[in-house]
């Protein structure tokens, strides 16, 4: 669920968003010794339901492009726990009560998950990701705000391993 705080001349206003949705993909390389490297892109969209403690309307989206490194904490087990981190950029934008903005900013993410190999080619995974980007300026009809973006994301998916026997 995204979190957004606009700091402007009238103070700071926190917000609350709907759960929303996300989708993405990755391409990477498994070294075979527990380390995996990947490039990922994730798009997220969430509707706004509260801003500064009052009902509000709007939405927030983000597109992240990250270079990640993950490490399998165990190997050759039924479930493989892993942790990882990434650096990249996020394009965060949307509209909130007359404010709007859209800006690419430096970002990072942390992740932890579980993977289950079904066959040598196919795995299922579930993971938690936290991402955060630098603040960006949003403009309103008579004011401006600086947006801080952080996000907690639970995902599940399927991985297809190329080149596996």
Residue 2 has pLDDT above 70, yes or no: no
- Class of the CATH domain delimited by 2-160: mainly beta
DSSP 141: S
pLDDT digits (tens, 9 = 90+) for 43-93: 988 888 777 777 877 888 889 999 999 999 998 899 999 999 999 999 988
CA distance 151 to 21: 12
pLDDT confidence bin for 1, thresholds 50/70/90: very low
pLDDT digits (tens, 9 = 90+) for 13-28: 556 677 788 899 999 9
C-alpha 73: how far from chain center: 22
Tokens of 7: 């700091």
63 closest CA partner among 117, 145, 138, 2: 2
Residue 4 has pLDDT above 70, yes or no: no
pTM over 0.85: no
Q: Which of the pair, 9 or 61, is modelled with greater confidence? A: 61
Lowest mean pLDDT among 7-11, 26-30, 114-118: 7-11
DSSP 148: E
């Amino acid at each position: 669920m995204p979190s957004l705080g606009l700091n402007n001349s009238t103070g700071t206003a926190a917000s609350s968003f709907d759960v929303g949705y996300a989708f993405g993909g990755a391409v990477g390389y498994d070294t075979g010794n527990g380390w995996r490297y990947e490039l990922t892109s994730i798009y997220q969209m969430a509707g706004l339901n509260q801003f500064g403690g009052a009902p509000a309307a709007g939405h927030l989206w983000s597109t992240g492009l990250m270079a990640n490194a993950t490490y399998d904490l165990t190997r050759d087990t039924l479930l493989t726990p892993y942790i990882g981190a990434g650096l990249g950029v996020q394009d965060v934008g949307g509209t909130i009560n007359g404010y709007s903005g859209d800006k690419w900013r430096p970002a990072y993410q942390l992740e932890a998950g579980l993977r289950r190999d079904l066959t040598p080619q196919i795995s299922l995974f579930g993971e938690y990701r936290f991402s955060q980007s630098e603040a960006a300026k949003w403009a309103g009809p008579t004011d401006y705000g600086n947006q801080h973006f952080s996000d907690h994301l639970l995902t599940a998916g399927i991985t297809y391993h190329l080149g596996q026997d």
